[in-house]
Amino acid sequence: MASSSSCACSSTSSKKFVLKTSDKELYYVDENVALQSLTIKHMIAEIGDIQGQIIPLPNVTGKTLGKVIEYCKNYEAERTDRDADDDPIKVWEEKFLDELDQDTFFDLMLAANYMDIKSLLMVTCKYVARTIQGNSPEEIRKIYNIKNDYTPEQEEAIRRENPWAFDAIKGRR
């Protein structure tokens, strides 16, 4: 179980919320961090004051929530008025994501979606998009350990039916 001393908490907010993961870990987080999640924000709006009550996150493990909190704290500290969907990945975000193994990265992306944390979901999607940009389908499969479940005949039929989708990679083969 995570204790308040081992979780990512700051002293800038007076309200604390207790988040419980699927593996029963408890994280005590400040309001400004917790409310980056629209899922949590909506729970609080519906139930009212839940300070001190446990907020269950059955689809998020402790390891993943720790990373979510780490990201949210950094995001809060670095937030500016110019943050937008089309902003490039910031240096600290790239470093944070580069340090994750592939399984943890995708768990983080799923948690961002489940918890409805737009900034985290956007940066993970941009990171994947940048990673696959310019790569052939075969290279993408290799990067992300994706099994090709099409037969060569099915794949060729798809290429014939959708030539526009393969124009950019024709010269790369």
Q: Distance between CA atoms of 49 and 14, rounded to whole angstroms?
A: 14
Residue 84: the pLDDT is 57
- CA angle centred on 70, ends 125 and 9, rounded to 5°: 150
- What residues of the chain score a pLDDT lower than 70? 1-13, 80-86, 168-173
Task: State the fold for domain 16-132.
Answer: Potassium Channel Kv1.1; Chain A (3.30.710)
Residue 59: the pLDDT is 97
H-type alpha helices, the chain: 31-34, 38-47, 62-78, 91-98, 102-114, 118-132, 137-143, 152-161
Give the single-character DSSP code of 28.
Answer: E
Residue 80: the pLDDT is 61
Q: Report the amino acid identity of residue 121.
A: L
Task: Find residue 17's DSSP bridge partners.
Answer: 29
Q: Provide the whole-model pTM.
A: 0.78
Give which of 78, 57, 67, 55 is closest to 8, Cα–Cα. Answer: 67
Residue 83: the pLDDT is 53
For 142-151, which contacts have Cβ atoms below 8 Å and span 24 or more sequence positions?
A: 144/102, 145/102
Domain range annotation of the chain: 16-132, 137-167
